[in-house]
Structure 1
Amino acid sequence: MNDLSNTPLAPAPAPVINRADYRPPAWLVPEIALDFALSLDATRVKSTLKVERNAAADGSATLRLNGDGLVAQEVLVDGQAHNDWRMEGGDLLIDLPGDAHEISVETVINPAANTQLSGLYASNGMLCTQCEAEGFRRIAFFPDRPDVLSVYSVRMAGDKSAFPVLLSNGNPVAAGEAADGTHLAEWHDPWPKPSYLFALVAGDLVATRDQFVTRSGRTVDLAIYVRAGDEARTGHAMRSLIASMKWDEEVYGREYDLDLFNIVAVADFNAGAMENKGLNIFNTRYILADPETATDADYDAIEGVVAHEYFHNWSGNRVTCRDWFQLSLKEGFTVLRDQQFSADMGSAPVKRIEDVRILRAAQFPEDSGPLAHPIRPDSYQEISNFYTATVYNKGAEVIRMMTVLAGLDRFRKGTDLYFERHDGEAATCEDFVKAIEDGAGLDLAQFRRWYAQAGTPRVDVSLVHEGETATLTLRQTVPPTPGQPEKLPMVIPLRTALFDRATGKHRGEELLVLTEAEQSWAFDGFAQAPVLSINRGFSAPVAIRSPSSNEDLVFLAEHDDDPFARYEAMQQLVVQHLVAAVEGQLSDAERDAGRRAIGDAIAAVLADPALDDLMRGELLILPGESYLAEQIPAVDPSRVHDEREALKGWLGTTLGAAWRDLHDRCSAVPYSLSAEARGARKLKTLALVFLAAADAGEAARRAKAQYDAADNMTDRQGALMVLCGLETPERATALADFHDRFAGNMLVIDKWFSLQAGSLHPHAIDHVKALAEHADFTLTNPNRVRALYITFAANAGAFHAADGEGYKLLADLILQLDPINGNVAARCVPPLGRWRKVEPGRAKLMREQLERIAAVPDLSRDVREQVTRSLEG
């Protein structure tokens, strides 16, 4: 008999969930029916579950239905009122005698009060859902775990004037209207799916429509739903969706499996997008675009994210995760697929460089900090904290290494086998590796360490030339990470070439596979010492430590036929110089020689007629401050900032005429989405960046002229970015014009906040404080929070102010935001968690702010775990 209150108990401290403790679910739910009576503040949900005892489990008679903040209004078992149930934390537990039952539970939820944006919530009068990872338990009591797959039937009813569009997963099966102004819709998804893929949208929306004919001849209806007035900005997203569907058929043999595919754009969203089966829900920033409001980078991001979520239909939905420790099974693989797609749609070399730049900026610091974890973690407290660059981006690189080892054709055989074996199942990372192993004919026993060991491997390089033989010796180490003090050698595939100095050519590329702590390879026939090009194409996600001379790096920057290796030579040339400068290791003569070498390499890139402008732009971008800081223990971030700015100023002065000519040339190229025009826009702003570091007046004049003449957001934002970093009257004029011009457009006003928060202006902290009080700022919209505070935290020159004001500003934000949206607040913690990497004075100030946050007793689980690990890791 239930003699307890039906009110959920206060949540206990989050337990540690261990991968080794996985057990199959005691009960399965082959079918679920959901009946929604929709309302912004009181949605009634009746869930009817057909449950079956799982023969593969431990035979428990207790059915555990996860809940979070839910109150059961009524519980029925096999149609009868049932009082023999109890609450454990937020979960509802029912003891059942037989092997199969029908369970019905009714709850009432308040979407308008759901500021966490998890579960069913309201966004500007619209109802929508976000259920990954554990949001479904905020909607209905259910075994909310990815290995419980169910066929869903959904019925929705609500006020037609408030919710004229009613959408869910699968295909529509019925619709109707009532005399009281309500209407209903019924949807059925024939494909079993876990609860995290459930979706519902109800609101006043308009649709852009198109169709796609699959390779087997089926017609799929496509629709992108947005607010009225935004439909004109959905064309690029629709084209990207159609291109994705075609590409997935051609490259991976995957065909879409429902009669329609819907996308809904939502302004309030914690993530970028969600791959719910047949009903993808997107952050508006990854759907809406036109030349006036979206940059070239926005266009690329939309194309990539639309593709990513569509590709999940197979790598995530048809084959899903057994448990959340396997998250990289779907995310790492799908990131690789969207990277391959984007490379095929545009410039493959530029895309590869962009992907590596993101990895180094986001994942390498994660791997070397207190939050380091393998791509398949061993434990967690809050799963939302493991939606990380390690799981996504490093996960993609690990699978990319399989393509390097197998070749694309054999890798495709492995993925075909994976989909064939596990279609309709909840699989593991091991299942994927085994399928590639079997399909491609590889031995991946040692390779599996990439899934188990955290940390970025370091490869030290030595090339010795004697007589006519060059001997290459590679030594690998994987640094200690929290919980993993000692590591075993990894499998590291390194595409390598040796260049002849006289001819500027190499004999052919070789794949060297490093499997031991130290290995050597001998190469004959070199009368003089060759120039080494290693990790070409970034074939392995490792840190190469090679004592290359400036002469060799300039040689590679001019002659290497691998675009990434050429980029890498430029990067290493600058990194070696700036690291030595920051550490005080350069004499005046050495500083001058280093700058001249960098200037010569950049001048060669500027003059090279064989380069397209998109690639030229990549070669000219200096390494970021965060990446430079990663190379220096106990770094003084202000020293990094000052030395990098000094180099920019020297280059801006020394090559001033070339930068002015480049800006003039590129300004004459009319707007289009062609590669030529996109490259010109990239270089146009990059020229301003170097000029601004050398001659603020000249840069301000040119930037203001570019801003005033702009007929597209790329040029306008680029000019405003440069002006934001200058103390010049043009700055205030342009900022005011930008805000007035785009007032009411949330995505563009996000840019206005972000440009100021990330600027080089000496008073950037004061600007951020003022912007936090601006009428357009809100803590309830994740995009707006990220635009201001995440951008500021990445602005090393401002965030790392010596007095610690930047650290306090971020900690204040975390404490203010946590009760509203713990998920977004937790994402703001890692910049403070980097305290071990900076010099002792700043480290103490950063740690003090973490301790201040930790002292708050009622932190969300999300923030509590991040702060605790940052302090203890």
Structure 2
Amino acid sequence: MKESQPSAIYLKDYTVPPFLIDKTELTFDLDEATTIVTSRLHMRRNPASGKSTAPLILDGGEDVKLIGVAMDDYALPPEEYRISENKLIITATADEFVLTCETLIEPQNNTRLEGLYRSSSMFCTQCEAEGFRHITYYLDRPDVMSVFTTTIIADESRYPVMLSNGNEVERGKTDEGKTVVVWHDPFPKPAYLFALVAGDLAVKKDVFTTQSNRDVALQIFTESHNIDKVDYAMEALKRSMRWDEEAYGREYDLDIFMIVAVDDFNMGAMENKGLNIFNSSCLLASPETTTDDSYLRVEAIVAHEYFHNWSGNRVTCRDWFQLSLKEGFTVFRDQTFSADMHSATVKRVEDVSFLKTAQFAEDAGPMAHPVRPASFIEISNFYTLTVYEKGSEIVRMIHTLLGEEKFRAGSDLYFDRHDGQAVTCDDFVAAMQEASGVDLTQFKRWYSQAGTPIVTVTDEFDSATGTYRLTMKQETPATPGQPTKLPLHIPVRVGLLDEQGIPLSSVVENLQADEHVLHLTQAEQTIEFTGLSCQPVPSLLRGFSAPVKLRYDYSSADLLLLMSTDSDGFNRWSAAQQLAVNELTTLMSQAIDGKPLEVDSQLAQGFSTLLHDDTLDPAMVGLILSLPSQAYLSELANPIYPAQIKQAREYLKRQLANTLSAEFERTYHLHSIKGDYQPTAEHIAHRSLKNIALSYWVETKSERAQLAVSHQFESADNMTDQFAALGMAVSAQLAAAPAMLAAFYEQWKDEPLVVNKWLMLSASQDQDNALDTVKSLMSHPAFDLKNPNKVRSVLGGFGQSVSGFHKEDGSGYRFLADQIILLNKRNPQIASRLCTPLTRWKKLQPLLGEQMKGELERILAEDLSKDVYEVISKSLV
């Protein structure tokens, strides 16, 4: 542990920058050993600062070597500036001046993958959140927006492609024969949106015609062997551009839009103005190498990064505490886009399932924080599910409260009012409130309060008057630093059903409808529904209208009714999940007590009804058939008994499989599609239901089911079906699984993204020797510790192996801690993210929890980066 630990930065301490940078002129002289960066910053004192004598303090990195600095072409001698804690400090400045800095960096030695670094044979950048300071000295904060001109000088034989933000404005040669390319971006932006790429790359070109009839050149760059895998991404980009024009009236503003695929990347993708840089796994797609889920992910991420052109670039965040201003809003936009492109219900279920599993767990853990955090030690740790996914839910609630038309008016006002500015979450809400006339004062608490609210609902029915009363109570549990919570404004969408599942019309506050949005604004409220002829079954929180935990005492009969008849597809899925949770909870209790497992499953009845109704959306049926995951059940449990949760899930799945074997076999054959692979909503739906049916059928261990798995694996003409069959063989521990794993690797060893799937599946095997398997994978030729995707595949996969990761001797936890300590020096961002499984130690059964805590303490004793220190230290409080 460091003698002096990193200190926190607080939102309350925000002040405007004392200086502004009107123009930024950058020159990169790229070379194999070193890169020389020259910056000319046209600076002036900020009149809003009020600090007329403040020194100039520029951010730098420990890997940046200053060669020289000049002010208005006067070379400053060493006594006129100093470097302290990676900051360049100049005491005497004019009110307006040009500062020139020459720095030396070594991109090939940059293992943290921030700033300028090498990936394979190309140069590339990642500057969000604070990566630009690893390139040169700068005011590296989002509220300093500047017009950038970038000159790239390189050997064209090695780097024929040289890209940066904006439009290419000049090309030439140096006296030494190097190529010079100049790019200019006319739109002011903060340094975190800067991008540079140089390499020997292939390109896919297309054109998009905007609503104002301008032609925009579209270019996607990859290494040459991957260029055949970008067609889907290009089509997704064009769909995104058209949708943003139609849904938000936002047109693209430059003459060219470029995307580059990079193999070594800490994140999924980055929205740099006009030059998006993508992790290859989020861009490349082909039927042979890409699953349906990955196709949908590519489309969503392409859309997300493109939508940032307005919600993040043209209007950006004032400071990093406001990160959800751009990310939460843009996630909402990409989710809505995907819902419009495919099944809205399926998309909503998938998003909420992820939220309830992962973000709710974050809210309940040591790193719980508001959507707009009050403080942080390392901003990279706050690219979280809370900021992104819960932030999206906040925007969705505003959409629910305002309605489509007023929400669009609010977004138009927001973009028009703040174009070219760095603003806050309050500015976003103010635009929505002003355009709609809806008071959002109380609603803003969602941005400042951490934790997942619990809404408890009770009801009563007065048959004499036909009045039904719902009493709702809200409570948000204490979270670190926030022991007391105030009531939130929670929209609760409700429908009522009769005993046959037919919707009932009712009156609430003089409005008669089949569905109502109730406004829960107090700690406890009672709402009356009148005009009813019978006691209803409530369909509560339809569409998951708020990110809360709902508590209502549904009977099994109620849940079966909702699961079979509710017109709200989300609540049909939710009812099935709750019914499964109820049965699994019984089984988990039996397993913990060492009793034989036994349950009278009502779920089988509901599943049977669904499987015999061929009129239903196959994708929706597939989702309802999916049992709650190990991770979701762990989030619900306190304490967590990993082995017993696994035992309960396996038992229930086998029971359902054996009870409904014939139905699953029939469903498998009914939804087996003939013909060429298509990543369309219809075909994806059939494949998803076919494969979920096969995953149950194979649990019967029948010879026909095992043959079906083997046949699908061997004959599949697409990665979705082949990998699904492989996963089933591994999960069911079929005798053929080891041979299938070996054959799969041999077939795809030259496709890195497919090999990553193999690495994750191999690492996740639930066997007693799982740790030995993972250690061997880390010595495998396909593994590379420098590649974040491979690290996530192996160590992320290992975390899913209950028998391996949660061994009672603590060896699984010890192994992960060793890797975190190793990566802490190489790539702090990745090391920090690997800490998450260890942060749940307080919820684990005592024996495992103490083992895990011991590993956290061992990590804390090391000399840690800010990234890792923040997560580990908060976890031990």
Aligned to 2:69: 75
Identify the match of residue 731 of structure 1 among 728, 737, 740. Answer: 737
Relative to structure 1, the CA distance from residue 588 to residue 127 in structure 2 (aligned partners, 3 Å threshold; closer, same or farther) is closer
Instruction: State the AA in 2 paired with 1:46.
Output: T
> Matched residues in 2 for 1:846 and 1:480: separation?
24
Partner of 1:548 in structure 2? Answer: 554
Against the structure 1 CA distance between its residues 236 and 549, is the aligned structure 2 distance closer, same or farther, given a 3 Å change threshold? same
Indicate conservation of the 8 Å contact 1:40/1:122, yes or no: no
Aligned to 2:658: 653
1:238-283 CA distance string (max 9 Å, x none) = 0010110100010001011100000000000000000000000000
Count of matched residue positions in the alignment of Structure 1 and Structure 2: 861
1:288 aligns with one of 284, 288, 292: 284
User: Structure 1 residues 503, 165: closer, same or farther in 2, change over 3 A?
Assistant: closer
In the TM superposition, what are the counterparts of 1:183-194 in structure 2 within 5 Å?
183-194=179-190
Which amino acid in structure 2 is aligned with residue 742 of structure 1?
W
CA contact (8 A) 2:470 2:528 kept: yes
1:781 paired with 2:787, answer yes
Q: 1:320 aligns with which of 316, 326, 337?
A: 316
Structure 1 length-normalised TM: 0.96
Q: Of residues 364, 367, 373 in structure 2, which corresponds to 1:368?
A: 364
Is contact 1:114–1:121 with CA below 8 Å preserved after alignment?
A: yes
Among 476, 480, 484, the alignment partner of 1:478 is 476
Tell me the TM-score normalised to structure 2 length.
0.96
For the pair 1:42 / 2:34, whether they are aligned, the reply is yes
2: distance between equivalents of 1:77 and 1:11? Answer: 37
**Structure 1 residue 594 displacement after superposition:** 4.2
1:569 and 1:104 mapped to 2: Cα distance?
A: 63
Counterpart residue number, 1:61? 54
Consecutive unaligned residues in structure 2, runs of 5 or more? 506-513
1:2-151 superposed matches below 5 A: 13-59=5-51, 60-69=53-62, 70-83=64-77, 84-151=80-147
Output aligned runs, 1:352-751, within 5 Å.
Answer: 352-467=348-463, 468-502=466-500, 504-507=502-505, 508-584=514-590, 594-595=600-601, 597-670=602-675, 671-695=677-701, 698-751=704-757
Contact kept in structure 2, 1:127 and 1:203, CA below 8 Å:
yes
Task: For residue 246 of structure 1, give the secondary structure of its aligned residue in structure 2.
Answer: helix
Quick check: 2:587–2:598 contact (8 Å CA) kept in 1?
Answer: no
Task: State how far apart, in whole Å, the 2-side matches of 1:696 and 1:481 are.
Answer: 49
1:519-566 C-alpha deviation (Å, 9 max, x unpaired): 111223444421110110011000101110000000001110000011
Q: Distance in 1 between matches of 2:600 and 2:531?
A: 32
Determine which of 854, 862, 867 is the counterpart of 1:848. Answer: 854
1:163 aligns with 2:159: yes
Q: 1:102 to 1:730 in 2, by over 3 A?
A: same
Letter in 2 for 1:316: G
Deviation at 1:797, TM superposition (A): 5.0
Contact 1:41 1:113 survives alignment (8 Å)? no
CA distance in 2, matches of 1:513, 1:416: 26
1:581 is displaced (CA, Å) by 2.8
1:648–1:694 contact (8 Å) kept in structure 2: no
Partner SS for 1:672 = coil
Residue 868 of structure 1 is matched in structure 2 by 873
CA contact 2:592–2:641 (8 Å) conserved in 1:
no
Is contact 2:461–2:467 with CA below 8 Å preserved after alignment? Answer: yes
The amino acid of 1:77's aligned partner reads M
Q: Which amino acid aligns with 2:398?
A: M
What SS class does the counterpart of residue 671 from structure 2 fall into?
helix
CA distance in 2, matches of 1:605, 1:793: 33
Distance 1:497 1:586, change over 3 A: farther
Determine if contact 1:726/1:760 at 8 Å carries over to the other structure. no
SS in 1 for 2:219: strand
Q: Which residue of 1 aligns with 2:235?
A: 239
CA contact (8 A) 1:641 1:797 kept: no
Distance 1:851 1:645, change over 3 A: same
Task: Decide whether aligned partners of structure 1 residues 121 and 589 sit closer, same or farther in structure 2, where only a CA change above 3 A counts.
Answer: closer
Give the % identical residues: 46
More displaced 10-residue stretch of structure 1: 247-256 or 169-178? 169-178
Query: Which amino acid in structure 2 is aligned with residue 47 of structure 1?
Result: S
The 8 Å contact of residues 113 and 265 in structure 2, kept in 1 or not, is answered as yes
**Letter of the aligned partner of 2:166 in structure 1?**
G
- Displacement of 1:681: 1.4
Specify the SS of the correspondent of 1:583. helix
**CA–CA distance in structure 1, aligned partners of residues 95 and 704 of structure 2:** 79
Q: CA offset at residue 696 of structure 1?
A: 6.8
Structure 2 SS opposite 1:827: helix
1:11, 1:89 within 8 Å by CA — same for their partners in 2? no
Q: Is the deviation greater in 666-675 or in 259-268?
A: 666-675
Query: How far has the Cα of 1:803 moved from its partner?
Result: 2.7
Deviation of residue 665 (structure 1)?
2.0
Q: Matches of 1:45 and 1:559 in 2, distance apart?
A: 65
**1:649-708 deviations in Å (ceiling 9; x for gaps):** 100111111111122222354332333321221122212221333327554332111100
Q: Distance in 2 between matches of 1:136 and 1:546?
A: 50
Q: Which one is further off, 790-799 or 774-783? A: 790-799
* Contact 2:590–2:596 under 8 Å retained in 1: no
SS in 2 for 1:819: helix
Runs of 4+ in 1 over 6 A off after TM superposition: 585-593
Is residue 2:327 matched to residue 1:335?
no
Partner of 1:6: none
Q: Match for 1:793 among 795, 799, 803?
A: 799
Query: How much does 1:336 deviate?
Result: 0.3
Shift of 1:818: 1.5
Aligned residue for 2:605, secondary structure, equals helix
Name the amino acid aligned to 1:603.
S
**1:104-141: CA deviations, max 9, x gaps?**
01011000000000000001110000000000000010
**1:191-220 Cα distance to aligned partner (Å, 9 max, x none):** 000000000000000110001111111111
Q: Does 1:811 align with 2:794?
A: no
Q: Any idea what SS the aligned residue of 2:638 has?
A: coil
CA offset digits 1:742-789 (Å, max 9, x no partner): 112110100001112233445433322221221211110000011111
Code of the aligned partner of 2:68: E
The one-letter code matched in structure 1 to 2:6 is: A
Alpha-carbon distance change, 292 to 585 in structure 1, aligned in 2, over 3 angstroms? closer
Q: Which ranges in structure 1 are unaligned for 5 or more consecutive residues?
A: 1-9
